[in-house]
A and B are shown apart, each in its own frame.
Chain A
């Protein structure tokens, strides 16, 4: 990579566009590398005190709509002396050409070399982006190992949900931030700004130490991991004074004070979501035991109905989007969701704006909301997520839905005019048997039977969609053994047969699933420790890229790399995936504090095995998960009692004089 590193070390303000442009006619979808989106900010390089490159380590079409990156991008660029630009994973066709022509990893705004920035912040929604991180570092001319980097290289920083266990990529990272990023990026910026202004005292090491001293930035190099003879971790301890034993997650309180994105990025290329998305709350206390997002984002913090209304109004006006998504982990649970839905439906009646709510709650209220939102005549799909096929397994995972509830809800949807609903389940859950999964077929049959009866029509359908369970850190299932892919695949085959056992009913049921193999690798990466880094590197060296894409993912490549790298370290792929952990085992992420009390998690794991359910603390008393007291936070919910007032319709052309931008 000498060519790329030479390019990166050239004048920082220099653009790689002249070298990149001639390559673009030779690659697929070149527009994804061009930039120039509405909302993109190009600033003067020299006048910026701190320069961030923000990366979403997947293809542009997936990465651009990412809320996290868009929010941080806007928060950072609002600072007058801060410059933030974006970079995404390049597809292998362009990667080959960039290597051949010495073009480094670049940002989209001004096509600057990523290696020239002060910081490279990478947002990991999933562990399957790890190999793409290595590609980007290598193309940028940044040494893969953090230990080999000098002051001339950017500080490589990870965030996002996967950063709650960054140990598998610890060797490649300078730092990781757990939790909400809005305030964290500003604090980090301050530290970098001051350090640079002081003339970079103590070099890179001093900068990282200053970050670590905040107690909310994890710097892996300041911690040593010792192992027991049997391969388990003995302890993770700081290797220098004045860094904390545990690093705390960040929580942004009062979402009304952080109404981002205000100026969403509007792509010129096609992307997976083209809508204005607003988070109506963060956090979830439903307590589904498999759900890492619900565990690590506590407590619940609602955005008020009036702020949501204002964000939608301004976001639509700015972006020109015709679709609005009201996002959260369980949107129907917002304390004023009814008023939000009817208020927005009133405001946008008679326009071409369509509103949608990710619908997973299995009850009639969800359908009321969906009906309210589809008043314009545009009917979005309805998805219900019972997650488990049998009542028993639903008790294990704490998804409290009875079979009667589910059937009644789906039938209500059919009688209210929906012809098609989606049902989402998981396979491979702890304690799961073939029988639990076969119950999904029976449930789907019952749904169709009851639906036909209630509507008197054969024209109703449902799709059964199955996801593979992956145990995640900071959840009650963090100790669970994974099931082997062959067992999962066999269960799915049996389920398919069971669905089609009745021809008439089977015809009305669609079946979608994923093979078990990718989930096993996701499991290796999600609960891995620092030794797994060598596997990631080997896979990447053997050509691993875009592991989240089935057409690029190679199970064999991961199995081979694990078999080559892990046994000399006394462990193997099975050890990380199908092995159940004990209560006293030190987990690789124990020194990273999500606020959840480990004893509470263990108790909840025992409750799962005993098939005991746990209520939601939003409506019932605190169940002592530990987050609020340890993080000094609290649940922030309405109702505010406010309503959305009708908007004065804006008519006529918006010329620059009429509305300066």
Chain B
């Protein structure tokens, strides 16, 4: 923010903090193409300029794709699900399909997870809105010669949250699926889920109604 010259607002008090809030940030160790944050500003700025300035100030790989002036309501209210893509190098797609069928058929899949409070059991099944083995148009790079099954999962935002590794634990519970190397998880989208299971970009509403910006 400081490098980009963003006129960020600060909280009052002895140690003022910049007003930045992240909505459902991705867990450590996963990739994401869809993170959202709100910034409180001291003055109005052009969203396109803000996007360009922030993008230029960030390290390669951290890209700012879009910025809109926030309408009423909080960002968190507009995010109730994520779509994840999980790449499982060394796993045959048919083996994965079998595990996914077993997962779908279960009404409940309790998995264990380590939290700061110790071991905790969460249900990995209920929050999963859809889970599909997909056939990629091209094989993921860097894994030539090794089979690599790919999974797409839509997970509802619940408390405690169900993360990609919980879904993988679920596949182990229902079908003994043990990937030989750690799978790679990427968050593809976040937003509100429609009846058809599509995820709507949380910035969409403000973008339509926005008087500022170039869209």
| Known contacts A26-B182, A30-B28; A654 and B4 CB within 8 A of each other | yes
Q: Which residue of A is nearest B141, CB measured?
A: A18
Q: A352 to B3, Cβ gap below 8 A?
A: no
CB distance from A489 to the nearest CB of B (A): 35
Stretch of B46-54, B78-86, B154-162 that contacts chain A: B46-54
28 A-B pairs with CB atoms under 8 Å apart are A18-B142, A21-B184, A22-B181, A22-B182, A22-B184, A24-B29, A25-B29, A25-B182, A30-B28, A30-B29, A36-B59, A38-B3, A268-B59, A319-B3, A320-B1, A321-B2, A653-B5, A653-B6, A653-B49, A654-B3, A654-B4, A654-B57, A655-B49, A655-B52, A655-B56, A656-B53, A656-B56, A661-B56
Residues of chain A with a CB closer than 8 A to B56's CB: 654-656, 661
Q: B205 contacts the other chain (Cβ, under 8 Å)?
A: no
CB distance from B26 to the nearest CB of A (A): 13
| Known contacts A653-B45, A654-B3; A320 and B57 CB within 8 A of each other | yes
Q: B52 to A652, Cβ gap below 8 A?
A: no
Q: B57 to A36, Cβ gap below 8 A?
A: no
Q: A187 contacts the other chain (Cβ, under 8 Å)?
A: no
Residues of chain B with a CB closer than 8 A to A560's CB: none
Query: B98-128: which have CB < 8 Å to A?
Result: none
Interface size on B, residues (CB 8 A): 26
Q: Which of A21, A23, A37, A653 contacts B50 (CB 8 A)?
A: A653
Q: B6 to A36, Cβ gap below 8 A?
A: no
Q: B5 to A650, Cβ gap below 8 A?
A: yes
Q: Which of B2, B6, B60 contacts A322 (CB 8 A)?
A: B2
CB distance from A9 to the nearest CB of B (A): 21
Q: B59 to A652, Cβ gap below 8 A?
A: no
Interface size on A, residues (CB 8 A): 28
Q: A38 to B4, Cβ gap below 8 A?
A: no
- A630-650 CB contact bits vs B (8 Å, 1 = yes)? 000000000000000000001
Q: Which residue of A is nearest B18, CB measured?
A: A352
CB distance from B11 to the nearest CB of A (A): 12
Residues of chain B with a CB closer than 8 A to A352's CB: 10, 16
Q: A651 contacts the other chain (Cβ, under 8 Å)?
A: yes
CB distance from A39 to the nearest CB of B (A): 10
Residues of chain B with a CB closer than 8 A to A24's CB: 29
Taken together as a complex, chains A and B put the C-alpha atoms of A648 and B121 apart, in Å, by 58
Taken together as a complex, chains A and B put the C-alpha atoms of A318 and B56 apart, in Å, by 12
Residues of chain A with a CB closer than 8 A to B60's CB: 36
Taken together as a complex, chains A and B put the C-alpha atoms of A661 and B50 apart, in Å, by 16
Residues of chain A with a CB closer than 8 A to B61's CB: 36
Taken together as a complex, chains A and B put the C-alpha atoms of A31 and B29 apart, in Å, by 8
| Known contacts A36-B59, A38-B59, A352-B10; A654 and B16 CB within 8 A of each other | no
Q: Which residue of A is nearest B54, CB measured?
A: A653
Query: A606-660: which have CB < 8 Å to B?
Result: 650-656
Q: A655 to B182, Cβ gap below 8 A?
A: no
| Known contacts A36-B60, A661-B56; A654 and B10 CB within 8 A of each other | no
Residue among B45, B56, B61, B184 having the largest count of chain A Cβ atoms under 10 Å: B56
CB distance from A151 to the nearest CB of B (A): 32
Taken together as a complex, chains A and B put the C-alpha atoms of A37 and B3 apart, in Å, by 14
Q: Which residue of A is nearest B29, CB measured?
A: A25
Q: Which residue of B is nearest A23, CB measured?
A: B182
Q: Which residue of B is nearest A25, CB measured?
A: B29
Residues of chain A with a CB closer than 8 A to B89's CB: 22
Residues of chain B with a CB closer than 8 A to A25's CB: 29, 182
User: A: which residues have CB within 8 A of B?
Assistant: 18, 21-26, 30-31, 36-38, 268, 317-322, 352, 650-656, 661
Q: Which residue of A is nearest B165, CB measured?
A: A25
CB distance from A290 to the nearest CB of B (A): 37
Nearest 4 A/B pairs, CB to CB = A320-B3, A320-B2, A25-B29, A653-B53
Taken together as a complex, chains A and B put the C-alpha atoms of A321 and B56 apart, in Å, by 16
Query: B187-203: which have CB < 8 Å to A?
Result: none
Taken together as a complex, chains A and B put the C-alpha atoms of A122 and B182 apart, in Å, by 33
Query: B5-44: which have CB < 8 Å to A?
Result: 5-6, 10, 16, 28-29
Residues of chain B with a CB closer than 8 A to A320's CB: 1-3, 57
Residues of chain A with a CB closer than 8 A to B57's CB: 320, 654
Residues of chain B with a CB closer than 8 A to A22's CB: 89, 181-182, 184
Q: Which residue of A is nearest B8, CB measured?
A: A352
Query: Besides A318-B3, A352-B16, A661-B56, 6 other CB < 8 A contacts?
Result: A36-B59, A320-B2, A352-B10, A653-B49, A654-B3, A654-B57
Taken together as a complex, chains A and B put the C-alpha atoms of A22 and B148 apart, in Å, by 14
Q: Which residue of B is nearest A21, CB measured?
A: B184
Taken together as a complex, chains A and B put the C-alpha atoms of A24 and B89 apart, in Å, by 15
Taken together as a complex, chains A and B put the C-alpha atoms of A646 and B61 apart, in Å, by 37
Taken together as a complex, chains A and B put the C-alpha atoms of A597 and B2 apart, in Å, by 49
Query: B132-173: which have CB < 8 Å to A?
Result: 142
Q: Which residue of B is nearest A26, CB measured?
A: B182
Residue among B2, B28, B53 having the largest count of chain A Cβ atoms under 10 Å: B2
Q: Which residue of A is nearest B56, CB measured?
A: A656
Taken together as a complex, chains A and B put the C-alpha atoms of A320 and B10 apart, in Å, by 16
Taken together as a complex, chains A and B put the C-alpha atoms of A654 and B28 apart, in Å, by 30
Q: Which residue of B is nearest A653, CB measured?
A: B53
Q: Which residue of A is nearest B5, CB measured?
A: A654
Taken together as a complex, chains A and B put the C-alpha atoms of A18 and B5 apart, in Å, by 36
Residues of chain A with a CB closer than 8 A to B59's CB: 36-38, 268
Residues of chain B with a CB closer than 8 A to A318's CB: 3
Residues of chain B with a CB closer than 8 A to A268's CB: 59
Residues of chain A with a CB closer than 8 A to B3's CB: 38, 317-320, 654
Residues of chain B with a CB closer than 8 A to A650's CB: 5
Residue among B6, B10, B52 having the largest count of chain A Cβ atoms under 10 Å: B52
Residues of chain A with a CB closer than 8 A to B50's CB: 653
Taken together as a complex, chains A and B put the C-alpha atoms of A74 and B57 apart, in Å, by 19
| Known contacts A25-B182, A320-B3, A650-B5; A656 and B29 CB within 8 A of each other | no
Taken together as a complex, chains A and B put the C-alpha atoms of A653 and B29 apart, in Å, by 32
CB distance from B34 to the nearest CB of A (A): 19
Residues of chain A with a CB closer than 8 A to B45's CB: 653
CB distance from B32 to the nearest CB of A (A): 14
Q: Which residue of B is nearest A377, CB measured?
A: B14
Taken together as a complex, chains A and B put the C-alpha atoms of A18 and B49 apart, in Å, by 36
Q: B182 to A651, Cβ gap below 8 A?
A: no
Taken together as a complex, chains A and B put the C-alpha atoms of A26 and B181 apart, in Å, by 11
Residues of chain A with a CB closer than 8 A to B4's CB: 653-654
Q: Which residue of B is nearest A652, CB measured?
A: B5
Taken together as a complex, chains A and B put the C-alpha atoms of A24 and B56 apart, in Å, by 27
Q: Which residue of B is nearest A318, CB measured?
A: B3
Taken together as a complex, chains A and B put the C-alpha atoms of A38 and B46 apart, in Å, by 25
Taken together as a complex, chains A and B put the C-alpha atoms of A38 and B29 apart, in Å, by 21
